[in-house]
Amino acid sequence: MTEASVKDMPETTAKERAKQEGPLFKPLYLQVRERLTGRMIEGLWPPGMLLPSEQRLAAELGVSQGTVRKALDAMAADHLLVRRQGRGTFVAEPEEGRILFQFFRLRPDDGRAPFPESTAVSLRADRADAETAALLTLESRARIWRLKRLRRLDGVPLIVEEVVLPFARFRHLDREEPLPNNLYALYAGRFGATIARAEERLKAVAAGRAEATALGCPEGAPLLRIDRIAYGLDDRPVEQRVSLCLSEQHHYANSLR
Amino acid sequence: MTEASVKDMPETTAKERAKQEGPLFKPLYLQVRERLTGRMIEGLWPPGMLLPSEQRLAAELGVSQGTVRKALDAMAADHLLVRRQGRGTFVAEPEEGRILFQFFRLRPDDGRAPFPESTAVSLRADRADAETAALLTLESRARIWRLKRLRRLDGVPLIVEEVVLPFARFRHLDREEPLPNNLYALYAGRFGATIARAEERLKAVAAGRAEATALGCPEGAPLLRIDRIAYGLDDRPVEQRVSLCLSEQHHYANSLR
DNA sequence: GAGTGGTCTAGACCACACA
DNA sequence: GTGTGGTCTAGACCACTCT
């Protein structure tokens, strides 16, 4: 390094810059994380893409490799990235096996994890009632899609579910028929809407006539009801769904840590 | 450092020692984690204790502060430790609020998180049947405790549950009556058995006569059934329990990441 | 002021994948 | 062999807590 370049060096360190951002201190590695997440949201880094190496990112962003590493590790822990020693860091893909493990918790009691097959029953445009609008943070009476599906495990009908999506973000959803098994792959691949996390509420309810018919169980039989809100990379709600599941020979698996 | 001391320095670095442990390479920070966890298991570091500082631990264990930090951070992420800037690192306590958030997922639909009050219905010694023995990795016909409880939320009976514990590890459990609300605090404080994690299976079932009576619901009403196995610091099963929950105005909350 | 964990940096070497 | 992420080290300064 020449003397001239030393003279020209910025007088602020990365750390100082972090502080200068304002009275609300935010660690550099979180700022890095937000910038990287932003590229994914903008679609510059689509699922499956190989990221630049840690060294390159560090040089590009003007921070040390260790800081980039901390941001990447955190994103990998949240399943937004996949790191592979010797190969590189990739944007996570909504691959069937992973999505299944992450977002589909219904298992046969024997412990296997078979892939569910889904059949779309109906897809229609509608308007959000007050409750749905609140759950998806839409305006009341906003346009939505309502998708009804029947899902089978090992060929046996086990789940009836209704999926609600904001029309604005999934404008030409009806052109995608037949809808694939893995909706989250569709959201990410065709609509740029990656699902990052979800919140679920579980209840036990009695089967109504429609569910009983679809699932081949007696009316009044106990069903597991799962209400889900799924959130995007920007942490805003993307999808709302209600699933009614037969749980006679199946269960919802959960780990508490 | 003098020349003499340089001469006397061990010729192996911490990294090399990690490798020498055998053909199965295990990162140093995981070895550190295991040693620290071991102290908790042995009871040398009981819940609430202040750990030595990172610098002291690093010196004591012969590794760098960064390696100790990585082990401590991982243990804090698993809720085994609590780190407080400016104060130190503490062994996590089975404090009511935390345990509730971590292991008790039933909430009123309005979103509050009231403390459950529990009433012991019966506690008796028994012998494990084949299934229970398998779940708790005990020998068949091993001695066990069976504890039945009724749990209320906001004063309303909501859960009937049966807790099964190995007799060997909880020998004088009957001397602890009346049993406290927070069983996991009892396990940790009186029996040196800290619960580190749990696996749950959820189903919807129909209320039998006994449950209907206890919960004040119609026979056949849908109930949420939760089967849980709780594991200790050594990752071996400690407790098995089955909970039957009214979920008319309550739900089981879960986050998927 | 002293001591703690939290953040950031810089650099070394190892394990792994691929050409 | 080259390049990647994974691990380990050493040291600096900051934010926080308590005395």
For residues B136 and B178, state if they share a domain.
yes
For residues B101 and B71, state if they share a domain.
no
For residues A136 and A192, state if they share a domain.
yes
Q: Which of A102, A196, A256 faces B103 most closely, judged by CB atoms?
A: A256
Give yes or no for a contact between B119 and B109, defined as CB atoms under 8 angstroms apart: no
Q: Which domain holds residue A220?
A: 96-252
Burial (0-12, 13-18, 19+ Cβ within 10 Å), B138: buried
Question: B148 pLDDT exceeds 50?
Answer: yes
Query: Quick one: which H or E segment has residue B12?
Result: none
Name the average pLDDT for chain A.
91
* pLDDT number for residue A228: 98
For residues B100 and B19, state if they share a domain.
no
Q: Of B43, B71, B91, which residue constitutes the final position of a domain? A: B91
B179 touches A at CB < 8 Å = no
The alpha-carbon gap from B5 to the nearest alpha carbon of chain A, in Å, equals 32
* pLDDT number for residue A100: 86
Report pLDDT digits (tens) over A95-136.
Answer: 888 898 899 999 999 989 999 999 999 999 999 999 999 999
Q: Which CATH number characterizes residue B223's domain?
A: 3.40.1410.10
Mean pLDDT for the stretch of residues A73-99: 95
Name the average pLDDT for chain B.
91
For residues B139 and B225, state if they share a domain.
yes
Report how far residue B239's alpha carbon sits from residue B195's, in angstroms, rounded to the nearest whole number: 9
Of the candidate ranges A8-22, A35-49, B82-96, the one whose mean pLDDT is the lowest: A8-22
Closest B-chain CA to A257: B197
For residues A110 and A53, state if they share a domain.
no
Domain-embedded: residue B19: yes
Question: B13 pLDDT exceeds 80?
Answer: no
* pLDDT number for residue A9: 36
Give yes or no for a contact between B113 and B127, defined as CB atoms under 8 angstroms apart: no
A205 touches B at CB < 8 Å = yes
The alpha-carbon gap from A110 to the nearest alpha carbon of chain B, in Å, equals 12
Pairwise pLDDT comparison (A8 vs A53), residue with the higher score? A53
What's the Cα-to-Cα distance from B213 to each of B111, B160, B162, B220, rounded to whole Å?
A: 27, 10, 16, 11
- Distance, angstroms, CA B248 to C1' C11? 60
Domain-embedded: residue A257: no
Q: Using the CB atom, is residue B55 less than 7 Å from strand C? A: yes
pLDDT interval class at B31 (50, 70, 90): very high
Question: A49 pLDDT exceeds 90?
Answer: yes
* pLDDT number for residue B5: 33
Chain B residues inside the 8 Å CB shell of A200: 253-256
Question: B221 pLDDT exceeds 60?
Answer: yes
Which SS3 state, helix, strand or coil, does residue B215 take? helix
For residues A239 and A141, state if they share a domain.
yes
Report pLDDT digits (tens) over B119-141.
Answer: 999 999 999 999 999 999 999 99
Pairwise pLDDT comparison (B128 vs A19), residue with the higher score? B128
Question: A16 pLDDT exceeds 80?
Answer: no
**Total tally of structural domains belonging to chain A:** 2
Q: Which nucleotides of C are covered by protein (CB under 7 A)?
A: 3-11, 14-18
Domain-embedded: residue B124: yes
Chain A residues inside the 8 Å CB shell of B79: 257
Q: Which CATH number characterizes residue A12's domain?
A: 1.10.10.10
Structure tokens at A232: 């995007």
